[in-house]
Amino acid sequence: MRLTIDRAELLPPLQRIQGVVGSRTSMPILANCLLAAGEGGLSVVATNLEIGLRDRVAAEVEAPGRVCVAAKKLFEVVRELPEGEPVALEVVEERLTVRAGRTVTRLLGLPPEEFPALPEVDEGSGVTLPAETLARLLGQVAFAMSTDITRQTLGGVLFAYDGEGHLEAVATDGHRLALRRLEVEGGGEPFREIVPRKAVSEVRRLVEEGETPVEIRFAEKQALVRRGPLALVTRLIEGRFPEYQRAIPTTGKSLVVVDREAFARACRRVAVLAHEKTHQVELVVEPGQMVILTQNPELGEAREELEVALEGEPVHISFNAAYILDILNAMEGETVRLEMSGSGNPALFTEAEAADYLCVLMPMRL
């Protein structure tokens, strides 16, 4: 293998794969990336057997070939090369030589035949979304994914498509739920698949880099996320996602409308004195006013009053302030609507400006 490539072209794919490369593994090959040069340029591939990433960049290829080298060290080497210098890559007997200006680095390689092949996910159901739309969608639901390893089916985002243009993205950890509805073009077969937390994090990073439409496709317990020449393949979480529709309140005895940013600022200030493990704050809502308060026997107490609009019954309820802030930060409108039915039932958070996004939050015991 022998080629020449701009440093500015080579560095981004090497940086992208760092989140995928297996750092703690009994298979040394997974700490490596596969470089494959051919007529289409240079491909950079990495996998940890759960997630695989393939990117392709333009290069002047004099001789095709493949090699496996340490992904982290190659990235560090290229990152420190002088800007503006063309980078020459050459492989002789599974040893990669990197030249730029007066700098020469040689990295020992492994046989490319040992590198695991990424699964092919060319067929199957899927949708195509603008990158900005997918980034916004994931940002609005990802915070509600569970981190509890004993609740595997909750450790990701559910993508549910009805085959008629209606897509829902849902995440829940049992304490809170976030749901975003989206109208998509085209038909296609219905699907209901759970993308794991790690893959969701990698996809969020990838879609924030550009505006190219993103294709999401599901087949054979795998998902493919493709944006131009960049492709991510991930295993899906097997199992049944909870019937989340049952957790969404349909009616409420109290409707509170409050300025979103003012609510968030007040929660942050009061939560400074909340218990460091529970982050518990109380909301006392009466006509025209909501009081946010917390009492901590070890530190003291704090309270703040906000102007609100209340329809229905006054309410006294308690929540985890960190969960409230996650919801408020994910929302974008000026005002937030809280629908509640007493202190022991879940609350529904929606935006007056957007009917396609909602969150459900379980209360804490007063």
Closest by CA position to 247, among listed 190, 179, 191:
179
Q: Judging by beta carbons within 10 Å of its beta carbon (0-12, 13-18, 19+), is residue 212 exposed, middle or buried?
A: middle
pLDDT at 186: 66
pLDDT at 142: 97
pLDDT at 211: 77
Closest by CA position to 79, among listed 4, 6, 21, 11:
11
Torsion of CA 72, 77, 83, 85, to 10 degrees: -120
Answer yes or no: CATH 3.90.1300.10 is held by domain 2-114.
no
CA distance 195 to 235: 8
Q: Do domains 2-114 and 248-361 have the same CATH topology?
A: yes
127 Cβ contact partners less than 8 Å away, ≥ 6 residues apart: 161, 167, 184, 186, 188, 215, 216
Q: Where are the domains of the chain?
A: 2-114, 125-246, 248-361
The CATH T-level fold of domain 248-361 is DNA Polymerase III; Chain A, domain 2 (3.10.150)
pLDDT at 183: 92
As a whole number, the mean pLDDT across the chain is 93
The residue ranges of the chain whose pLDDT is under 70 are: 23-24, 186-187
User: What is the tens place of the pLDDT at every residue in 75-105?
Assistant: 999 999 999 889 999 999 889 999 999 999 9
CA distance 176 to 153: 15
Answer yes or no: CATH 3.40.640.10 is held by domain 125-246.
no
pLDDT at 121: 82
CA angle 258, 315, 298 (to 5 degrees): 90
